[in-house]
Structure 1
């Protein structure tokens, strides 16, 4: 995508997101038994194919999963005015939510069926502010380490030009062993 204009890159990202949104079921909560019975790949594919509901949080914040592989997860969102803080920029909680989600889901992709996780430490470094003019952004999480009871991941939040807006790291407790 290096030879494309910014507008072309935005259009490509938005087209990918629209195709995914068209397949999604209404948001909802997946029964724990259903979650535990699936591999992470089957779980995320079930959401993406519209077989399982995406989490209500995705609808509230306005983001969706666009890519994943073992140890990696990418969400896309578009900052809007409804995400603003009183100072006229996107609230840091929007960034933190996207990074927490992509890093946690990256960890989830490496877990055995039946295991879960929860964030026990989240660190975010904000590099530059976002506004509704920023355009679509992606939060990419990558696993650093999976242990028996703890997992570590790092994340980056960037736009179509690769401009970095924030980075993060997390420690998650692995549940269910």
Structure 2
């Protein structure tokens, strides 16, 4: 075992034995991210966020994620960058699913409306319009009490068929 691997193993063992509950949960999220990548061939961030998505009959896509210590800012609300990433992910998923193409984000616009507090965030997205090369989507993120946390739009370039 290399020295840096030994150091990492020692750090993880020490964190599990002596760390806070939040620190322990961060280690489990790292494991989850690696498992997501291996099993689903998706981005590591999907594993850190615990993205679980479903395509609904009305053509919208829905992600529900637990609010974890990894996501929190100093005020104990979901970090704005994390909620923007969630919006980008759910809009990218609906763009890809609706068009049959792999997509990349060309533009994203988000409005933060209330703090992302509670136990879960629920993100929904739908396609506003898609053409030959671009797909424009909208997204709303609520907490489990139904409060609107974020509203946004995004444009996605259609790269190649999936």
Pick aligned residue for 1:57 from 45, 53, 57? 45
**Distance in structure 2 (CA, Å) of the matches to 1:84 and 1:141:** 23
**Distance in structure 1 (CA, Å) of the matches to 2:145 and 2:76:** 23
| Corresponding position: 1:157 with 2:145 | no
Provide, for residues 140-175 of structure 1, a one-character-per-residue CA deviation record: whole Å limited to 9, x for no partner: 010000100111000000123322111110011111
Matching residue of 2:11: none
Matching residue of 1:80: 68
**Distance in structure 2 (CA, Å) of the matches to 1:92 and 1:165:** 10
Shift of 1:79: 1.4
Matching residue of 2:19: none
| Corresponding position: 1:120 with 2:106 | yes
Structure 1 segment 15-164 matched on structure 2, within 5 A: 26-28=35-37, 52-65=40-53, 67-69=54-56, 71-112=59-100, 115-131=101-117, 134-164=118-148
Shift of 1:176: 2.4
TM-score by length of 1: 0.64
Q: Is the Cα–Cα contact under 8 Å of residues 64 and 76 in structure 1 kept in the other structure?
A: yes
TM-score by length of 2: 0.69
Shift of 1:53: 4.5
SS in 2 for 1:90: coil
| Structure having the higher Rg | 2
Q: Is the Cα–Cα contact under 8 Å of residues 69 and 109 in structure 1 kept in the other structure?
A: no
**Where in structure 1 are there 5+ consecutive unaligned residues?**
1-24, 30-49
Matching residue of 2:9: none
Shift of 1:104: 0.8
**Distance in structure 1 (CA, Å) of the matches to 2:75 and 2:121:** 20
**Where in structure 2 are there 5+ consecutive unaligned residues?**
1-33
| Corresponding position: 1:167 with 2:151 | yes
Shift of 1:137: 1.6
Q: How many aligned residue pairs are there?
A: 127
Provide, for residues 73-126 of structure 1, a one-character-per-residue CA deviation record: whole Å limited to 9, x for no partner: 1111121232222344321011101111111111111123xx311101001100
